[in-house]
């Protein structure tokens, strides 16, 4: 159910300094319980907080309570408004982080030296206590502070309890090793998360900083936000296109790789559409702006990628809930393992306490809590570099279980650039007259077919001769032009108006024309299949998609010809917008359980079926309504992007599955060995830090710019 925009206020913040995934989950749950908060999501990987607040509440008070919750769990984390963060994003390493790095390095050097120093017992004990405080003081302070706040069962407590227990057993090296290796693991986690955050923050770099606005006095450098549609802007070689527009003057080539992932340059000239964020390489361009800055391509790309973390995949939600119960359960098991056997069997407490300490160290769920969302975040980032914008990791996961892919025809599988291929008048009308009548009828329509007819006519038609214009979506138009009642449209529309059309076996879209109730003839409009459409269909089938279907409002003959050319499994033609939705619902009704259907389209009339489908894919050059309703946007406007998206989704799932099986498998083995007395704290440290390290390394494969999802394993 969609939110009532008037009653819901959306807020987005950066949680600057957020470093604990478990704490992030606790913050998220705490905010959700606040009165007036209808929903709250934290994307730990990007450090973003998304909130929906009931407009009837005191928003300021709710945000104050939110800050209190953040400070309760993460005192050093700062809640910064997204807009402020974008303007003042700092790369400086904070003082506390510098101190942390110095103490860790010093602790490692002293820890290593302890193996070679021959010290007597009291001095040796004092030395190891000092090394322990240097290496683990930061963790001890956090654990004490959290205990005072009532937050006992966290990773700081686990490491503190395990290391103190090791000291109590006079296993000094093991106690210090727990702290050092835990902090090394945390440092690596921070590096991996910062790298993934920078991969999205780098997108901010493609945002144009200024526009050269043309005025009566010349060009003035202004903010892109201050340029209105219809204005003229100049772009010099080396500058970014500030806003989406149409080239008025000049020729050049553009580097669009930041937007589409396409390495080849694109040639543009007068009449070419250019997208903001593209880099002008070698010629001066004068462009007429067609969209405001907040509707421009680069702004939408940044917004879509940044907001993707708000929609979590089911497996992410599962891991968060799993960690909530897993850690307390293992802690309880550690306590029982340490106490019950000695009391029941009379065994030495020291042996069983050490086994309990192994449980404490291994129980930390960081390997899963960090690596799973990091994998999805990397998948979304990898897709964005290829010009595929996925609005959430839930959609990325859904791409693994696609049953049927349904395509619109015009502008999706075909170019959507129509041309008048043939003019066939009836007796009493010439080709020139029939084309003129068609142009008068379509004068006020912005449909691609109408545009092609007006282009073929090539002359101006005065608005004064046009009156009583009526357009019927999916059918045709009625209009009075120069005193004549004109009707233009398909067979059904002509029949509904009492006009009998002859049967035609011509391949193409037929536009029939009638003048004052007399059938005047028809125009055949042709459209060409996109170069990569056939490759996309073959690619989908190779990935295991069961059916590929086309829905179109075009006539049956044209639809079936294209379907045969592309190798589609089924085609449904002559459909109105609401009939496309009905057909999509029929396809949904027969899909296997646990499977999803995709619909890909580009036009305004595709918005309803895009919203209705399990996963809606909008072609990047399509309408704003289609892009808004879709779950995935293909900036390159090529259907093969769906194949790439599914390949990326499959690689992401493989990595997530590998990490879950590996982490839980290793932990289960070490827990079993620990319970049997066959594992010491060194092995337990590997079961925590080592597994986390390996899982994060595996997850970071999704962040590699040069990785090929389709071919990776």
Name all domains of the chain by residue range, CATH numbers in brackets.
8-87 (3.30.70.100), 95-200+308-377+651-703 (no CATH), 207-306 (2.70.150.10), 393-415+529-630 (3.40.50.1000), 419-526 (3.40.1110.10)
Cα 269 from Cα 273, distance rounded (Å) = 9
Identify the residue whose tokens are 């930041």.
258
Contact 412, 601 (CB under 8 A): yes
CA angle 59, 65, 68 (to 5 degrees): 145
Q: Which of 150, 158, 104 is nearest to 131 (CA)?
A: 104
Q: Are 566 and 413 in contact (CB under 8 A)?
A: yes
Q: What's the pLDDT at 454?
A: 92
For residue 129 the two structure tokens come to 């206590």
CA 509 distance to own-chain centroid: 37
Q: What is the pLDDT of residue 6?
A: 47
Q: What is the pLDDT of residue 365?
A: 72
Residues 6+ apart with CB under 8 A from 322: 365, 368
Q: Give the tokens for residue 238.
A: 């080396």
Q: Tell me, what's the pLDDT at 409?
A: 87
Q: Is 626 helix (H, G, I), strand (E, B) or coil?
A: helix
d(CA 492, CA 472): 12
Q: Is 569 a catalytic residue?
A: no
Q: What's the Cα-to-Cα distance from 228 to each of 192, 523, 695, rounded to whole Å?
A: 41, 38, 49
- H/E stretch holding 196: helix 172-201
Q: Which residue has 């790309």 as its token pair?
A: 301
Tens of pLDDT along 421-434? Answer: 889 999 889 999 99
Name the residue among 44, 39, 14 with its Cα closest to residue 29: 39
Which strands make up the sheet holding 484-489, listed edge to edge? 419-425, 518-526, 509-515, 484-489, 476-481, 466-472
Give the position of tokens 């650039």. 417
d(CA 644, CA 383): 8
Q: Which of 43, 154, 403, 408 is catalytic?
A: 408
pLDDT of the residue at 624: 62
The pLDDT score that the predictor gives to residue 251 is 92
- Cβ(293)–Cβ(227) below 8 Å: yes
- The CA distance from 546 to 321, in Å, is 34
Q: Are 711 and 672 in contact (CB under 8 A)?
A: no
> In the chain, what are the helix, strand and coil shares in percent, each to the nearest 5?
50, 20, 30
Chunked in runs of 10, what are the mean pLDDT values of the chain (713 residues)?
A: 54 80 81 88 77 80 90 83 56 64 88 81 85 89 80 74 80 83 76 60 64 90 88 91 91 77 74 86 91 75 59 65 74 85 82 82 72 79 81 87 92 83 91 94 85 90 89 87 91 90 78 93 88 93 94 83 92 85 91 92 75 85 63 85 94 90 87 84 78 82 57 40
- Provide the pLDDT for residue 52: 86
Burial class (CB in 10 A: 0-12, 13-18, 19+), 333: middle
> What would you report as the CA-atom Rg of the chain, rounded to the nearest whole angstrom?
32
Structure tokens, 677: 């007395």
Q: Supply the pLDDT for residue 199.
A: 54
**DSSP string spanning 334-384?**
HHHHHHHHHHHH---HHHHHHHHHHHHHHT--HHHHHHHHHHHHHHHHHHH
Query: Buried b / exposed e across 529-551, counting CB within 10 Å, b at 16+?
Result: ebebbbebbebbbebebebbbbb
Q: Are 56 and 9 in contact (CB under 8 A)?
A: no
**In what order do the strands lie in the sheet containing 632-634?**
388-390, 632-634, 615-619, 596-601, 402-408, 547-551, 570-572
């Amino acid at each position: 159910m969609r939110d009532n925009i008037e009653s819901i206020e959306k807020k987005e913040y950066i949680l600057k300094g957020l470093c604990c995934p478990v704490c992030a989950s606790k913050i998220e749950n705490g905010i959700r319980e606040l009165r007036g908060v209808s929903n709250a999501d934290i994307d730990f990987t990007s450090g973003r907080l998304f909130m929906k607040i009931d407009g009837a509440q005191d928003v300021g008070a709710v945000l104050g309570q939110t800050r209190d919750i953040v400070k309760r769990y993460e005192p050093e984390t700062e809640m910064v408004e997204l807009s402020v963060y974008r303007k003042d994003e700092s790369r400086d390493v904070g003082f506390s982080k510098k101190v942390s790095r110095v103490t860790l390095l010093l602790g490692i050097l002293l820890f290593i030296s302890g193996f070679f120093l021959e010290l007597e017992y009291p001095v040796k004990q004092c030395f190891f206590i000092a090394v322990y405080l240097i290496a683990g003081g930061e963790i001890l302070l956090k654990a004490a502070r959290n205990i005072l706040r009532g937050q006992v069962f966290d990773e700081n407590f686990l490491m503190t309890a395990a290391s103190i227990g090791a000291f109590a057993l006079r296993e000094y090296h093991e106690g210090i090793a727990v702290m050092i290796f835990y902090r090394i693991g945390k440092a690596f986690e921070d590096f991996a998360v910062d790298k993934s955050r920078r991969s999205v923050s780098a997108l901010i770099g493609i945002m144009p900083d200024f526009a050269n606005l043309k005025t009566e006095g010349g060009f003035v450098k202004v903010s892109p936000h201050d340029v209105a549609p219809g204005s003229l802007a100049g772009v010099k070689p080396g500058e970014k296109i500030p806003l989406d527009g149409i080239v008025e003057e000049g020729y050049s080539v553009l580097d669009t790789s930041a937007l589409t992932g396409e390495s080849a340059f694109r040639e543009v000239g007068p009449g070419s559409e250019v997208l903001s964020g593209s880099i002008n390489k070698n010629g001066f361009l004068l462009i007429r702006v067609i969209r405001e800055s907040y509707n421009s391509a680069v702004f939408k790309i940044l917004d879509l990628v940044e907001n993707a973390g708000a929609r979590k995949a089911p497996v992410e939600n599962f891991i968060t809930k799993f960690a909530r119960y897993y850690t307390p359960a293992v802690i309880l098991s550690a306590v029982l393992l340490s106490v019950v056997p000695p009391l029941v069997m009379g065994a030495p407490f020291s042996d069983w306490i050490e086994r309990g300490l192994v449980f404490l160290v291994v129980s930390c769920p960081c390997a899963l809590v960090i690596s799973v969302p990091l994998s999805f975040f990397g998948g979304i980032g990898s897709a964005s570099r290829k010009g595929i914008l996925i609005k959430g990791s839930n959609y990325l996961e859904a791409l693994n279980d696609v049953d049927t892919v349904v395509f619109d025809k015009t502008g999706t599988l075909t170019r959507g650039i129509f041309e008048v291929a043939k003019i066939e008048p009836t007796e009493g009308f010439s080709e020139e007259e029939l084309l003129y009548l068609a142009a008068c009828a379509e004068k006020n329509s912005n449909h691609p077919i109408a545009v092609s007819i007006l282009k073929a006519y090539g002359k101006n038609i005065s608005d004064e001769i046009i009156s009583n214009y009526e357009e019927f979506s999916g059918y045709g138009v009625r209009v009075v032009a120069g005193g004549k009642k004109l009707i233009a449209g398909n067979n059904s529309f002509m029949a509904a108006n009492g006009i009998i059309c002859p049967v035609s076996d011509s391949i193409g879209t037929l536009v029939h024309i009638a003048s004052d109730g007399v059938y005047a003839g028809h125009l055949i409009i042709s459209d060409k299949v996109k170069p990569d459409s056939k490759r996309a269909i073959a690619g989908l089938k190779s990935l295991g998609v069961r059916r590929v279907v086309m829905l179109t409002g075009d006539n049956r003959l044209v639809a079936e010809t294209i379907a045969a050319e592309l190798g589609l499994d089924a085609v449904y033609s002559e459909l109105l917008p609401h009939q496309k939705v009905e057909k999509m619902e029929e396809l949904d009704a027969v899909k296997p359980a646990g499977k999803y259907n995709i619909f890909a389209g580009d036009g305004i009339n595709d918005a309803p079926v895009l919203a209705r489908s399990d996963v809606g894919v909008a072609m990047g050059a399509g309408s704003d309504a289609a892009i808004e309703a879709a779950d995935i946007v293909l900036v390159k406007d090529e259907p093969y992007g769906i194949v790439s998206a599914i390949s990326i989704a499959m690689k992401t799932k493989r990595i997530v599955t590998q990490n879950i099986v590996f982490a839980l498998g290793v932990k289960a083995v070490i827990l079993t060995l620990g319970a049997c007395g066959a594992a010491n704290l060194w092995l337990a440290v590997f079961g925590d830090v080592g597994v986390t390290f390996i899982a994060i390394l595996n997850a970071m494969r999704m962040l590699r710019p040069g990785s090929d999802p389709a071919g990776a394993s």
